[in-house]
Structure 1
Amino acid sequence: MKSELTLPIIGHMKSPYREKFGIPRQPNLVQVESYIEMAEPYNDLLAFEGIEAFSHLWLVWQFHDNKNQQRDKFRPQVRPPRLGGNRKIGVFATRSMYRPAPIGLSVVQLKEVKKIGKSVRVYVMGSDLLDGTPILDIKPYIQYSDAIVEAESGYAQDEPTRKEVIWSEQAEGQKQLALQQQRITIQLINELQQVLSLDPRPAYQDDPERLYKMRFADLDVSFQVQQQQVCIVGLHLAE
C-alpha cells in the first residue's frame, strides 16, 4: 500500500491574514471576506454551475507555511491553545496543524463566483486561512447531514469569549488620518477589531505590559491585552 498521496492544487486563498499570528482558530468567528483564485485548468465557470444554490462550502486545504512540521516523525500528542497550551491530548482529538497529513478543513459562507478576465474567483466569508493557502478541493455544505444539532464538541463546546477592543489616543489619530486619506476602509477596521477581540496571543502568554505586533491586510498593528480589553496602540500602513 502506498504511504504517500499526491493531490492537485486547484487554487490559492487570497485573504487579509498575512501571517499565522492573528488568524482565528476556527472558521466563521470573524466575518472577513476573502477569495480563492482558481488555477488552470480549474478556472472554468462550468465547474461551478449550480453552486449558487448552496449558502456554504467546505474547503479542503494544505497547511503550507508550517515550518515546524516533521513529516518523518509522528507526534501522537499536542497542546491545544483552547486548553491553555499546558495539557497534552491526542492529535486526532484536535485540529492542530501538527498532524501526519498537513490538511485542513473549513466551512465558509459562499458570496459569489466571479470571472475577471481569465481569472475565476470564489468569494467567501468567514475563512480562517492564511493568504496564499493552497486549496485542494471545494465541496458544497449539506445542511441536513453536515449540521448535527446534538453533536458534542468536547473541550471546544462553546465559542471563545471575546474581549472589548479599544484604541489609544495615538492609534485613534492614526486610524482617522488613514481613513481621511482613503488608504483604509471602515470595513477593514471592523474586520481588524473582530480579529483582535478573539485575543490572538498564544494561550501561555499573559503579560499585560507586553507589546504585540501583527500584520493584517496592509496594516501593521501594535496592541496590548488587559484582562477584558485589547488596546490598539499603533496602526501603520505596511511598507
Structure 2
Amino acid sequence: MSCQDDSSLSNHIAPIIGYHHAPLSQKFGAPRQPNLVALTSVIEMIAPYDTPAAFIGLEDFSHIWVSWQFHHNYLYKDKQANKADSSFRAQVRPPRLGGNQKIGVFASRSMYRPSALGLSVVKLEHIEIIEGRVLLIISGADMIDGTPVIDIKPYVAYSDVLHEAQSGFAPSAPHLLAVTVTEFAYEQFVQMIDNQRIHNEAEKTAQNEKATVKVVIHKMQKQLLMPDLDNIKALIAQDPRPAYRRTEIHMLFVMRYKSVDVSFQLIDSGELQITAVVTI
C-alpha cells in the first residue's frame, strides 16, 4: 500500500512542550528572521517536559534549533475552528520582494504554510532551574509572546553551517533604516522606567519577592530597562511597515513592546522617527 493510501500518515500530532515568552506580544514589529535583533526571551517548559534531566548536556551548546507554531496565523486559527478558509494556498508575497511578487510557499518562510510550523536557530544564553522547572533563556528569536514550542534540538556547527549554500531571493541581510527618537519620546521612556523602578522596589519590600517562574516571565514580558530602547530602535530599523506603505511620510505606526506602545513614522530625511511611548 502506498503512502497516499494510508490516511494515518496524512496527519501528525506533535505535543506542545513549552511556551515562548517575549517582549513582543503582536506580530507587527517582530523580526522576520531569527538573529536579526538580539532580543532576550525565555522558553518556559511545561510538564512533563520541564524535568531538568531532559536538558543535561544542552548547556554545552551555544545555540539551539526551536520548532514552533505560528499561533497568530489566521490560517492556523481557521484550521483549529474547522473553517473552510484554511485551504492550501500555493503562493505567497514575501515582504523581501516588496509584497507584490508571488513565489511558491515552499520557496518562502511565510507563516501561511500547511503545517503552520516555524523553525528558528537561536542563541542559548543559559538554562535556569526554578521551582524544579526548566527555563531556557535565549536571544535572537523571531517568535512572539505565547508561541507554542514543539521541539528543541542542539545546533551542531559542523553539519548545520553550509558555507556554500545559496539563498535565492534573500542573499544577504535586509537593509536597515536609521532610527531617531524625539526628545519628547525619550523623556516619556525614561519616566516610565523610573515609575516602574519605584513600583518594583515597593513590591519587593512588601512581598520579599524571590525568583519564581512567574516573576522571571513577568520581567521578560513587562519590565522596561534602558537597554530596551536600543532593542526598540533595532526592531524598527528592520522596517516592520507593510511594503505598500513604506513611502508614506508622517504616517504613524504603532509597535507594542513589553508594557508600552511605541509610535513611529517615516520623516522627510528618510529616517524612521520614534515620536511617542505610551503605557498600555
Shared fold (TM-score, shorter chain, > 0.5): yes
- Percent sequence identity is 45
Partners in 2 of 1:194 and 1:214 — Cα distance? 12
So what's the TM-score if we normalise by structure 1? Answer: 0.95
State the AA in 2 paired with 1:199: D
Q: Report SS of the residue matched to 1:191.
A: helix
Q: Report SS of the residue matched to 2:242.
A: coil
In the TM superposition, structure 1's runs of 4+ consecutive aligned residues that sit over 6 Å from their partners are none
Which residue matches 1:88?
Answer: 102
Is the CA contact 2:65–2:153 (under 8 Å) kept in the aligned structure 1? Answer: yes
In the alignment, structure 1 residue 203 sits paired with structure 2 residue 210: no
- How far off its partner does 1:182 sit? 4.7
Q: Report SS of the residue matched to 1:204.
A: helix
In the alignment, structure 1 residue 128 sits paired with structure 2 residue 142: yes
Is the CA contact 1:171–1:234 (under 8 Å) kept in the aligned structure 2? Answer: yes
State the AA in 2 paired with 1:66: N
Deviations 1:121-140 (A, max 9, x none): 01101001010000000000
Partners in 2 of 1:78 and 1:28 — Cα distance? 23
In the alignment, structure 1 residue 194 sits paired with structure 2 residue 256: no
Which residue matches 2:273?
Answer: 231
Partners in 2 of 1:196 and 1:32 — Cα distance? 13
- RMSD between aligned alpha carbons? 1.4
- How far off its partner does 1:165 sit? 1.3
Q: 1:221 aligns with which of 248, 256, 262?
A: 262
So what's the TM-score if we normalise by structure 2? Answer: 0.82
Count, aligned residues: 238
The gaps in structure 2 that reach 5 residues or longer are: 1-5, 80-85, 198-223
- How far off its partner does 1:178 sit? 2.2
State the AA in 1 paired with 2:164: E
Deviations 1:102-157 (A, max 9, x none): 00000000011111114320110100101000000000001011111111101111
Is the CA contact 1:199–1:225 (under 8 Å) kept in the aligned structure 2? Answer: no
Q: Bigger shift: 46-55 or 60-69?
A: 60-69
Residues 1-239 of structure 1 mapped to structure 2, 5 A cutoff: 1=6, 2=8, 3-69=10-76, 71=79, 72-183=86-197, 184-206=224-246, 207-226=248-267, 228-238=270-280
Partners in 1 of 2:190 and 2:42 — Cα distance? 28
The gaps in structure 1 that reach 5 residues or longer are: none
- Choose between structure 1 and 2: higher strand proportion: 1
Q: Report SS of the residue matched to 2:233.
A: helix
